[in-house]
Amino acid sequence: MNPAHFFTLLRILISPLFPLFYLGYEWLGIPFASVPFLMLGLLIISEFSDLIDGFLARSRNQVTDLGKVLDPMADSITRISLFLTFTQGVVQLPLLLVLVFLYRDFFISTLRTLCALRGLALAARFSGKLKAVIQACVAFLILLLLVAYTQGILSLELLQQMSLFAVGAAALYTVISACDYFYANRFFIKKALNKM
């Protein structure tokens, strides 16, 4: 357990707080107008800890196999938890769009694990990193739209339409990044599957 792992685990521990605050604000006695600010704070901490754990691991030469597994897992858990949360309440994202994020991460993680078990390392792609940045930006955008809605600046209809458009665009790029990953690693994947 090194400092980089601590920050990675922090992101995983933060994830359940998104649905807790968004869906359980009445039970917790929190005004709904405060909810998007709380969630923004959590997301900032989460994204900042993502930068810190990578920096610490590289600068201290503490890149470990555990970190290589935990870091992308923490990213997926954080962002998918947040988007799944937004399928409820006022935002009302379509579940099918959010499942695109879930299935992409599930299939690629499974492929990477399969290949690793057969001694083949599948490198991360720039498209995957860009996908993570786009998803993070969309998450921030929805929370800012939610702030505008709770302050009476934005109508519910506009909040839902803009959120749907942003997540739809992110889901489309998520599919493109998955195709890029499969295509770039097709020979390794084929080799790994032939060994089964």
Name 11's Cβ contacts closer than 8 Å, sequence gap at least 6: 46, 49, 50, 53, 74, 75, 77, 78
Q: CA 58 from chain center: how many Å?
A: 22
pLDDT, position 67: 66
Whole-prediction pTM? 0.89
pLDDT digits (tens, 9 = 90+) for 108-154: 888 877 777 777 666 677 888 899 899 999 999 999 999 999 999 99
Report which residue type is found at 120: L
Give residue 118's domain range: 3-194
User: Cβ(87)–Cβ(94) under 8 Å?
Assistant: yes
Confidence of residue 76 (pLDDT cuts 50, 70, 90): confident
Note the pLDDT of residue 103. 92
- The per-residue pLDDT for 183 is 86
Taking phi over 0 as left and psi of -120 to 50 as alpha, with beta for the rest, 105 belongs to alpha
Cβ atoms within 10 A of the Cβ of 113, count?
A: 11
**How large a percentage of the chain has pLDDT more than 90?**
55
CA dihedral sign, ordered 78, 81, 83, 89: negative
- What's the structural domain count of the chain? 1
Write out pLDDT tens, residues 2-52. 777 788 888 889 999 999 999 999 999 999 999 999 999 999 999 888 788
User: Would you say residue 73 has pLDDT above 90?
Assistant: no
pLDDT score recorded for residue 118: 73
Contact between 140 and 40 (Cβ < 8 Å) = yes
Domain at 40, CATH number: 1.20.120.1760
Reported confidence tier of residue 196, pLDDT bands at 50, 70, 90: low
3-state DSSP call for residue 153?
A: coil
